[in-house]
Amino acid sequence: MKKIELEIVALSHSITQTHSYAVVLGEVNGLRRLPIVIGGFEAQAIAVALEKMSPSRPLTHDLMKNFMNAFDVQLQEIIINDLQEGIFYSKLICFTEQDTVEIDSRTSDALALAVRFSCPIFTYENILESAGILMGDTTPKKNKDDIIGIEETTSATHEDLSSMSLPDLETLLNDVLESEDYIRAITIRDEINKRK
């Protein structure tokens, strides 16, 4: 299967849903986005690395990187390789002088390590097709150095999505994407996919 390269384009926090964050991956040289819901600790770990902050003591992902470096293990790439019942599965592709090893990982942890190792992030077409969101906007992507740590996003209302028509859901999805409320976009996208 052909791999599709992704990059982190945003990290969002929804103030309408407690402890709910999303890391948004963008297709390199494409318009599709892949929002993935993650926990608060993982969001913090990704934000710290994106912003190149140095905590006084190493965070768990920093410790993992230090451990891997101490034993000459390099993280070559991460691959978001499966999606089952709304849960993304990933693997770390690590190598040493003698061997290459694939290690199962939670996607949020894999992303936190990818940022620390500056390694590429990949997925497959079937995952982008089922869980990705096509951005209609053709504005240039943000420079990686300009990615914000955490964006606060909010929803004005909580429509009952099940009572909305498919065209109304698609319109709402476009509006929500324009306001960069990726947490809400995930819910709307899932409702649209459920009906197709």
- Residue 22 belongs to a domain with what CATH number? 3.10.690.10
Domain assignment of residue 143, given as a range:
3-154
Residue 140 domain-assigned?
A: yes
pTM of the model: 0.74
DSSP 48-117: HHHTT---SS--HHHHHHHHHHHTT-EEEEEEEEEEETTEEEEEEEEE-SS-EEEEEEEHHHHHHHHHHH
pLDDT at 19 over 70: no
Above 70 in pLDDT, residue 150?
A: no
Kindly tell me if the per-residue pLDDT of 79 is higher than 50: yes
Q: Looking at residues 177-191, what average pLDDT do you find?
A: 74
**Average pLDDT in the 167-196 region?**
79
Q: Average pLDDT of the chain?
A: 83
DSSP helix/strand/coil, 141 = coil
In a domain, 187, yes or no: no
